[in-house]
Chain A
Amino acid sequence: MNDSERITDLQQVIMSIADQLCETVDNNFDIHISVDTDDIHGQKLSLLINFLLENVRRHNRDMVQLNAVLEEKVRERTEQLDMVISGSTDGVWIWDAMQDSISFSENWYRMAGEKAHAEAQKPEYWMNRVHPKDVCRLKSAIRALMEGSKTQLHAEYRLRQESGGYRWMLCRGVCQRNDMGFPKLLAGTQTDITHLRSVDPQSGLPNEHYLKERIEDLLEARSTFYVILVAVRQLNAITESLDQQATEKLHLEISQRLLDEAHFSRLLARLPGNTYAFLCQVQPGENPHDLL
């Protein structure tokens, strides 16, 4: 073979290899390059390209395997997380900081007394449901988390119910940041703490916090109301001689007797120092003295 024939042969080898490599345009690397030449350099070139293709196939296989392992791990973790969430009465919220939208769990909506929405909500959806007196505190806590001055969110607020009332919530959360340090994702839980915050554990009656909130509501509404305080004197002297079971029974008996006297429109609360309070709103036309 003279030089001219050799060059032509090598050109054909290169063209043949290039044509065969066109298959890879569709991400098909499962091909084998073969050349019909006696030229050892042509054979060498095809051999190295086949080595390259094999490495691509191996990396692709590794990626598929790795992906399957990761997907399995994600599935397992999701199942575990779902189990934890479904076993708890807490609501879950996930705030996409880039999209400025929040996804709430079914429990979260249930806590607000609303039907669950599949689509994400704007932050206003949440803030508009928070009691006006608590919304600034919640926003400040979220801002501190976003700015990084706090690593965890911990805020208590009242969440308006669809029926009109409010329930106390404890919100906890953390923030995930991108490579630039900007907030990427905020996520956390919401726990109904109404009972813990508003109920006296010994008697089961509303406590002083609850009474204070109701009084504030009435004052704000410029309503007329009265409060009767009933102090049970020397109760401690009696309970000192009783065991715990008997003491609890005594407290329940006192509460029950007072409740029997309370009209359904009156609120009976237990205050510290063995004191009870009746709160009653005076309706138009009613005389407070008559009610007393």
Chain B
Amino acid sequence: MIGIIQRVLLDLLEETGGEPLKFAVMDRAGVPHDRDFRIDQNYPDDECLKLIQGAVDETGLSEDAINVLYAKAFLKEARNLFPQFFMMAKSSEQFLLRQATIHGVIASGLKKPEERQVVKDKFSARSIEPGFVEVTYRSPNKLCGLFRALAHEVAGIYGECLTVHCADCMKRGDDACRFELRWEKTAPDGILSSE
């Protein structure tokens, strides 16, 4: 998994519970304290999953609650790092349609083509009709709960209301997760530019 994921999680833990919480989670995952996660490098998936599970175990929060907190922190970091991606999209619908491609941008940092392809194949999005987008997520990590939280947070950034229906889910035995994203109302224009 690309280092930005772990980096955001560790920063969030440090911000919330200080270094002791961060190091405790790192210990649970067997990650050395001096590990600097880079956004242009790939790290073992199971290590990242252990970090997330460690965060659940150390904080006592539910996985869903961790996902929501993480989604907020991730999008904050993403807006700092790649503000243009958010400026380019006039709505969360536009952003989430482009999200698979943005995910591919992050994957471009990986040196090995096969690693790049694995990351790129995780997401695909297509517009069914205005206000209705279908996103497919395929990964053995089964972090579909995290995507759901991220989608809601993106809608929140644009001041929009989004419903996410998980039509297929790998956790229920499906080959891939298929999300049906529907927007109930359009956002006021320029909500981002006013910030």
A34 within 8 A of B: yes
Q: Per-residue 0/1 for B94-111: is the Cβ within 8 Å of any A Cβ (1 yes, 0 no)?
A: 000000000011101101
Can you name the residue of chain A whose Cβ is closest to the Cβ of B104?
A51
Give the size of the chain A interface in residues (CB under 8 angstroms): 14
The answer on a CB contact under 8 Å between B36 and A44 is: no
A19 within 8 A of B: no
Chain B positions 1-45 with a Cβ under 8 Å from a chain A Cβ:
36, 38-40
Q: How far is the CB of B77 from chain A (nearest CB, A)?
A: 9
With A44-B39, A46-B40 already in contact, the answer to whether A51 and B111 are too (CB < 8 A) is no
Can you name the residue of chain B whose Cβ is closest to the Cβ of A50?
B108
The answer on a CB contact under 8 Å between B36 and A47 is: no
A54 within 8 A of B: yes
Q: Name, among B81, B106, B108, B116, the residue most crowded by chain A CB atoms within 10 Å (CB to CB).
A: B108
A-B contacts, CB under 8 A, total: 35
List residues of chain B with CB within 8 A of the CB of A40. 39, 81
Select which of A38, A50, A51 is within 8 A of B36 by beta carbon: A38
List residues of chain A with CB within 8 A of the CB of B105. 47-48, 51
Whole-angstrom distance between the alpha carbons of A48 and B40 in the complex? 10
A43 within 8 A of B: yes
Interface residues of B (CB under 8 A from A): 36, 38-40, 81-82, 104-106, 108-109, 111, 116
- 24 CB contacts below 8 A, A to B, read A32-B111, A34-B40, A34-B111, A35-B40, A38-B36, A40-B81, A43-B38, A43-B40, A44-B39, A44-B81, A44-B82, A46-B40, A47-B39, A47-B40, A47-B106, A47-B109, A48-B105, A50-B40, A50-B108, A50-B109, A51-B108, A51-B109, A53-B108, A54-B108
